[in-house]
Structure 1
Amino acid sequence: MENDAEFWARYRGISSKLRRRFLRKPNLAEAGEQFGHLSKELKQQDCLQYAGFCSLAQARCEQAVMNGLGEAETLTEAARLLLRAEVDNWTLHLPSLQEALQSSCNAFNCAIKVYTELRQTTMAASLCLDLAQSLKLMGKDGEACVFFRRAAELQYETPFASLHSLGQAASCCLLTHDYEGALTLYTTMQQVAEEKAPRLPGNNAPVGAFQDIIASNEISRVLLLMLVQPPPQHLAPEHARTLENYAWSALDSPGHARSQCLPEELFILLQSVVMACQEKDVEALRVLQKELWPLLDKNQNDILHLLICEMGHPSGLGY
């Protein structure tokens, strides 16, 4: 496309075919096809934002002729083109008012809605993840969290995929310092994993990958509870039960209190972290950090590090 004026002239030329004329209905199919051809031409010329606008116009034509699948497909194409345009600007550090990103998010939302109405939840969830990953790449972790959570809701029939999306959402919460939100998400993951996990006959312990998920989430939840320190009157029952396992009284009966999913050494180290927090013993936490570091994932190590920093601050954590 040589210039903006040429594009808009062709765009308006096609749009004029959509106007109602006396005793004549607009030829929606022809206009949609022409918008599609123009979009492909612009895409080949790397004019992604204009190509996206043409795909949006094509989607409106598909909607007008009641072609739900065609509408969803063209909305998806528009959303991805506009998102690519915004990511390219971001990668090159070009100034941007983010109109393409806003238009892309709107198109993604519309496509997700249409696919959901068509009962194609797998495709809808995939679009949520596509947008969430790109938003996270651009440092928009709060916005990304919304779409990771939405993907998890759409993946209810595939627990592993849903748990992975919830984990991504929790990571976004940590990056935005929304520790209560992260705690809520890890708790939801714990409940889903415990509900779906296959169990060993006899001791009813979870097995397989679900066991690893439950163990990882328990570690994250304990560390976040130490960081957030919700007041007793606002402590959720499931959080109270978790903390009871790590209380002083649990030392006398480790076999009864210890989580079935955590190795004994790790459980004792976490129990020591809880007691060190209760005693406001920063030096003990620093010693425990060295032992726990190789046993925790990145997010958990970050939480523990923040916990030590906060406790070492003169204002403390308000225990």
Structure 2
Amino acid sequence: MSTDLNASFDEQYVNINTKLKKRFMRKPNVSEATNEFIGLAIQCEHSEQPSFAGQTYIGAAKCEALAGNHLGEAEQYLAAARQFIKAEAKILALKFDSPDRENLEAAIGCYLQALSKYPDKSPIRTSILMELANNLVSLNHKLEAVTYYEEALEIIDESTMKLMYMRNLLNLLIDCGKYDNALQLANTIFDSNKNIPDGILTEIQVSRVLLTLLVKPDDESKTESLKALFDDLMNDVESEAIPFNINLKLKLQSIIISCTVGDLQSLISVAPDTKPYLTTQQTELLQALYSEEKDDNFVHS
């Protein structure tokens, strides 16, 4: 790297930009500047200055754009985005506030810039969207992540991958307390997939039961498969659509009856024995049911 290693970050950054302007941005100069920006970015990474590294990778991305190398531009924007995410995580780890979300907004902007360089149906777009969504989840911006999960789902055609992503989105919606949306998605998952593995099918069906008890949709808005789920479950009808073992089936029946008649004590009694069968999100739903029944009992007492 030709810049002075002992110079400050600002001096080095300005020095690269100045050299770029001297010969009317000819491609050989652009290529040299790209390498120097990358070198400076790596230096910032080693110095644990991710925000500076992100800014410098943006400089490299702009050089790649001038050279007409759009894939290289996308690669540098992704590198920048990852550094800004590190910078935001660092702030959170130190318990500092980030009200303007400067690093996070920069990261999102860089991800979207990279995204724009690929065709609409490119699998790389799916990877970028999921990386952005997962980073937002890790930084506790779960509701914001939902949008990018949904965008990724629109691209995916392969059935198994689509099922797994829909399942992840369902759990994310539950985490966000978006129970109406979660129930709609759970219904869509069941109704649009004919060959769901038993383990996942059990998980989806349990979530549908608990979500229905929380959302309380009227009969007209219930899907036919949702009505059949409750009818078969409460009437002990054997069905491939409800691959529950006998213990789980009995627990779900007790929960449904307890919620239907507003029996808070029965719900409290069945909850501990039910939790071993539930996912983390389903346990949250059961807790939400308890809180709702408790509030209802308080209002009517």
Identity level (%): 24
Q: Aligned-pair distance for 1:80?
A: 0.6
* Contact 1:145 1:170 survives alignment (8 Å): no
Q: 1:25 to 1:312 in 2, by over 3 A?
A: closer
Distance 1:145 1:216 in 2: 20
Kindly provide the amino acid, as one letter, of the partner of residue 126 in structure 1: S
* Contact 1:258 1:267 survives alignment (8 Å): no
The answer to whether the aligner puts 1:301 opposite 2:283 as a matched pair is yes
The match for 2:45 among 43, 46, 56 is 43
TM-score (norm 1): 0.79
Kindly provide the amino acid, as one letter, of the partner of residue 211 in structure 1: D
> In the TM superposition, what whole-angstrom CA distance separates every residue of 1:78-120 from its partner, at most 9, and x where no partner exists?
1111111111111112343321111001111222332455x65
> In the TM superposition, what whole-angstrom CA distance separates every residue of 1:133-182 from its partner, at most 9, and x where no partner exists?
332222211122333334444443261x4333333322332222111122
Kindly provide the amino acid, as one letter, of the partner of residue 276 in structure 1: S
* Contact 1:20 1:26 survives alignment (8 Å): no
Q: 1:140 to 1:53 in 2, by over 3 A?
A: same
2:171 aligns with 171
SS state of the match for residue 116, structure 2?
Answer: helix
1:88 aligns with 90
* Contact 1:246 1:274 survives alignment (8 Å): no
Kindly provide the amino acid, as one letter, of the partner of residue 221 in structure 2: H
1:266 aligns with 248
* Contact 2:205 2:242 survives alignment (8 Å): no
* Contact 1:145 1:168 survives alignment (8 Å): no
Q: Aligned-pair distance for 1:307?
A: 0.7
2:114 aligns with 111
Map residues 214-253 of structure 1 onto 2, 5 A cutoff: 214-246=201-233, 250-251=235-236
Distance 1:19 1:42 in 2: 24
Distance 1:284 1:272 in 2: 8
Q: 1:167 to 1:239 in 2, by over 3 A?
A: same
* Contact 1:152 1:163 survives alignment (8 Å): no
Kindly provide the amino acid, as one letter, of the partner of residue 292 in structure 1: T
Distance 1:53 1:39 in 2: 8
Kindly provide the amino acid, as one letter, of the partner of residue 231 in structure 1: D
Kindly provide the amino acid, as one letter, of the partner of residue 112 in structure 1: L
Q: 1:296 to 1:139 in 2, by over 3 A?
A: same
1:148 aligns with 149
Kindly provide the amino acid, as one letter, of the partner of residue 213 in structure 2: M
The answer to whether the aligner puts 1:100 opposite 2:103 as a matched pair is yes
The CA RMSD measured in Å over matched residues stands at 3.1
Extract unaligned runs of 5+ from structure 2: none
1:186 aligns with 186
1:74 aligns with 76
Distance 1:260 1:235 in 2: 17
Distance 2:112 2:191 in 1: 28
Kindly provide the amino acid, as one letter, of the partner of residue 171 in structure 2: S
SS state of the match for residue 42, structure 2?
Answer: helix
Q: Aligned-pair distance for 1:15?
A: 2.7
1:139 aligns with 140
Q: 1:55 to 1:272 in 2, by over 3 A?
A: same
> In the TM superposition, what whole-angstrom CA distance separates every residue of 1:257-285 from its partner, at most 9, and x where no partner exists?
67342224423432332233222222332
SS state of the match for residue 314, structure 1?
Answer: helix
Aligned length: 293
Extract unaligned runs of 5+ from structure 1: 198-205
* Contact 1:131 1:147 survives alignment (8 Å): yes
Kindly provide the amino acid, as one letter, of the partner of residue 162 in structure 2: S
